Chains A and B, each alone.
Chain A
């Protein structure tokens, strides 16, 4: 029937119209929604936040680190310790959004993750001001404040963690910035353009050559491969494939074993060890230690780099003393040190201890996770003994605390300016204490401050001492 044919045409036409709608909706969502969302007339983006007092953030002992206050119908975020936590907690600004913990735990802080909230929101338009969830960080405020004080005016990072649980006790980066929204909006442009990079959280995103602190991993590989008792001849410098590698101040240490070589941080010995181990064993230990691995963390963390595809002898020698192309973040270096303290097992770093709702009921306890084993417990035990000697009779004497056995390793990392003799090296120290039952592991880096035995080691000592004294 002719009419039926035409009716089919009508059906096709109407169905096409419907498909056009679905297509157009998809187009809006894929290509236009970002513009729409960011439109200043879209009150949606601020409305939820105006109705919600963002939750408080506390340190592990309940010290208030961030809270919200209603001012003129708007919620203002206040950070009582100013810039001290700017790179840990971050900021919360209408203009520039949110960063670090404020961003990662936005939903929790606004309290919109809870299913019970959904059913209470039937008429969402006329809600009274709600209160978001509170966060308890693993950070110890006393330690963080001390770290901030010690790094004041310098560039660098201090990381302290509990080696057994992976809890971060202090995460200090310097320079930092004022995270209050008003200040942020005022200073944004100049901070973005500043060569000091105040927004860079050096502790988790700064990538540095590890320098001699890397020798603890080479020591582990050496012990695993039976080189523990070998005696080396250290004449102060060595030429490997035409590249001369020298000790600090070209000092000759004579006939020394591995333990002594670590204590005096002999580049000559470790360069030889690197070439002896070869690339396979080298990458084996760096893989176990988590290089080139995305480590899960609450705030964005850089991957530590070990970008070698092929290593010749000079590469092996340079890498073994922590130079060359190897780059680590201070947090990762602290995790490796903590791994040795924790019988070879590296723990996943945690920054948030628990989340509680506004009535104080704990809604979520963060679990402690094993990240992986770097080395066997007996190897870790041997390195621990060697690292104690670094502090008692080696380069790390500045880290020694009276009455407490400290294990550590210094590092003096060359950088783009020190190579041209325009500045001093970066100063590193990693360590933990007490050696027999480690409670705290630290990694300290201070940029352009020279030998790790001086500045970094004494900062580490003060941090460890403070933590162990209470």
Chain B
């Protein structure tokens, strides 16, 4: 669907990313349509909306300069979205993270992912120099305070997501944060301290939050509680096992027995009907996406863009790992969508926005946008 819009000779964006995303979209759309015709048509509409947002953000990003100056805006927007969710939120599938406006349900946490990456990019544009720059002269104190505030913002974000039972997104933000710290933090100490947080975090969460404990129990032994806690994951494993290497053929399997099959568990449906060769193909496409994205990031000179690009690529790559790893019982299952494949408007639109930003920063013509080049 991109081919018509895209000039092969001298495209304004990276053609491989577009091709990979087209393939993922097609596999997803086909599977969703096979599972539920009306959902498939809705997904088609969402793809169109996503495409619109893709172009919109592509051009807005070029027009609006100084993206690196809006750190406080990103935090406030994020906070506002969470607030709105808490007030207007509907409980859908056990997670209070949906806003329903005029019949359309919308998941604000999806947008928060993008805002989060923007915030990180603004912070690391000039590391540890974002907050209170004018008021504190002592450099060591300023760095310390900056880091503390950064962690406060990040963990508030993650904490709110856990409260909303958005474990997948929380895990995703946390791991993206760690990756950015690893690459851009001035010393490794910050990265190590934050990595260590996962241990008390998980222990605390396991004993404090029932919904987290259920996930872990279902991961360790889903067969013990096959009728309730382990139901989803075992049904997913049945689907994958019945597909074999080459799948039952599209329309020949029974992926409809897997709960949430068109969103979180779409990978199980793909494995059942297209075999694990089909599943591996999806994984490899995501890997190619990551590779291509990282390649763009490597060539970027501007620090803001570099953090932004890395954040986006890591986020999409890790999201894929977290959900696929979850449905095949490699890691505990956390509800999250498979980017570009799962059904879902918020997820699809967010992924398209992320793609648009990735494309615009990959274009050297707009090098001046979003901060001065430092090379």
Q: What is A's interface to B at a CB cutoff of 8 Å? A: 3-4, 6-11, 14-15, 17-18, 20-22, 24-26, 28-29, 32-34, 36-37, 39, 41-44, 47-48, 112, 118-119, 121-125
- Complex Cα distance, B317 from A47, in Å, reads 36
Whole-angstrom CA separation of A6 from B179 in the bound complex? 9
Please tell me if the beta carbons of A47 and B254 are within 8 angstroms of each other in the complex.
yes
Q: Does B297 have its Cβ within 8 Å of any Cβ on chain A? A: yes
A26 to B279, CA, bound (A): 10
Contact A14 B306 (CB under 8 A): no
Other-chain contact of A37, B37, B242, B249, B279 (Cβ < 8 Å): B242
| The residue from A4, A20, A119 contacting B298, defined by CB atoms under 8 A apart | A4
**13 pairs of residues in contact across A and B, judged by CB atoms under 8 Å:** A10-B294, A17-B318, A21-B328, A25-B240, A25-B280, A33-B241, A41-B238, A44-B254, A47-B257, A48-B254, A118-B252, A122-B34, A124-B253
Say whether B55 faces chain A, with CB atoms less than 8 Å apart: no
Q: Is the CB of A18 within 8 A of B287?
A: yes
Q: Are A10 and B183 in contact (CB under 8 A)?
A: yes
- A124–B324 touching, CB < 8 Å: no
Report the bound CA distance from A10 to B183 in whole Å: 8
A344 to chain B, nearest CB (A): 44
Q: Is A41 touching B234 in the complex (CB atoms < 8 A)?
A: yes
Please give the distance in Å from B313's CB to the nearest CB on chain A: 9
Of chain A, the residue at the smallest CB distance from B256 is: A125
Q: Which residue of chain B has its CB nearest to the CB of A40?
A: B226
Give the chain B neighbours of A43 by CB distance below 8 A: 254, 257
CB pair B234 A39 closer than 8 Å: yes
B200 within 8 Å of A (CB atoms) = no
Q: Which residues of chain B come closer than 8 Å to A41, judged between CB atoms? A: 226-227, 234, 238
A7 touching B183 in the complex, CB below 8 Å, given contacts A25-B276, A29-B276, A122-B34: yes
With A18-B283, A44-B253, A48-B254 known, 8 other A-B pairs at CB within 8 A are A7-B297, A8-B298, A10-B182, A11-B294, A41-B234, A42-B242, A118-B250, A122-B37
**Bound form: Cα–Cα A9–B294 in Å:** 11
Chain A residues with CB under 8 Å of B184's CB are 3
Complex contact A20–B330 (CB within 8 A): yes
Give the most central of A4, A11, A22: most B CB within 10 Å.
Answer: A11
In the complex, chain A residues whose CB is within 8 Å of the CB of B310: 7, 10
Measured in the bound complex, the distance between the Cα atoms of B227 and A9 in whole Å is 42
Q: Any chain A CB within 8 A of the CB of B130?
A: no
Q: A112-B252, A121-B252 are in contact. Are A28 and B241 (CB under 8 A)?
A: yes
B321, CB-defined interface residue at 8 Å: yes
Chain B stretch 170-184: residues in CB contact (< 8 A) with chain A? 179, 182-184
Task: With A118-B251, A122-B251, A124-B254 as known contacts, state yes or no: A32 contacts B241, CB within 8 Å.
Answer: yes
Is B43 an interface position by the 8 A CB rule? no
Which positions 261-278 of chain B face chain A at CB distance < 8 Å? 271, 276
Q: Is the CB of B291 within 8 A of A21?
A: no
- A15-B238 contact given A21-B330, A118-B249, CB 8 Å threshold: no
Q: Indicate the member of B241, B276, B328 with the most A CB atoms within 10 Å.
A: B241
Which of chain A's residues has its CB closest to B320's CB? A18
Chain A min CB distance to B139 (Å): 21
* B36 close to chain A: CB less than 8 A: yes
Q: Which residues of B contact A (CB under 8 A)?
A: 33-37, 179, 182-184, 226-227, 234, 237-242, 244-245, 249-254, 256-257, 271, 276, 279-280, 283-284, 286-287, 290-291, 294, 297-298, 306, 310, 314, 317-318, 320-321, 324-325, 328, 330
- In angstroms, Cα B286 to Cα A15, docked, is 9
Q: Which residues of B contact A21 (CB under 8 A)?
A: 283, 321, 324-325, 328, 330
Contact assessment for B306 and A33 in the assembled complex, using a CB-CB cutoff below 8 Å? no
Determine whether the beta carbon of A24 is less than 8 Å from that of B287: no
Nearest 8 CB-CB pairs, A to B? A36-B241, A33-B241, A125-B256, A121-B251, A42-B238, A6-B183, A11-B294, A18-B287
CA distance A4 to B299 in the complex (A): 9
B328 in contact with A24 (CB, 8 Å): yes
Partner of A28, one of B237, B249, B294: B237
Q: Is the CB of B256 within 8 A of A124?
A: yes
The chain B residue with its CB closest to the CB of A10 is B179
Query: Are A18 and B284 also in contact (CB < 8 A) when A28-B328, A112-B252 are?
Result: yes
Bound CA span A10–B309, Å = 13
Interface centre among A43, A44, A125 (most CB of B within 10 A): A44
Task: Tell me the smallest distance from the CB of A190 to a CB of chain B, in Å.
Answer: 32
Q: Name which residue of chain A comes closest to B258, CB basis.
A: A44
With a CB–CB cut-off of 8 A, which chain B residues contact A24? 328, 330
CB-based contact B276/A26 at 8 Å = yes
Instruction: Tell me whether A14 and B317 are in contact (CB under 8 A).
Output: yes
CA separation between A22 and B245, bound complex, in Å?
12
Cα A8 to Cα B182 in complex, Å, equals 12
Query: Which A residues are in CB contact (< 8 Å) with B37?
Result: 122-123
Instruction: Evaluate contact between B251 and A10: CB separation under 8 angstroms.
Output: no
Known interface pairs A3-B306, A28-B328; A14-B283 also in contact (CB < 8 Å): no
Q: How far is the CA of A179 from the CA of B112 in the complex (A)?
A: 63
CB distance from B349 to the nearest CB of A (A): 24
Which chain B residues border A9 with CB–CB below 8 Å?
182
Taking CB as reference atom, which chain B residue is nearest A1?
B298
Chain A hits for B286, CB < 8 A: 18
Least CB distance, A40 to chain B, in whole angstroms: 9
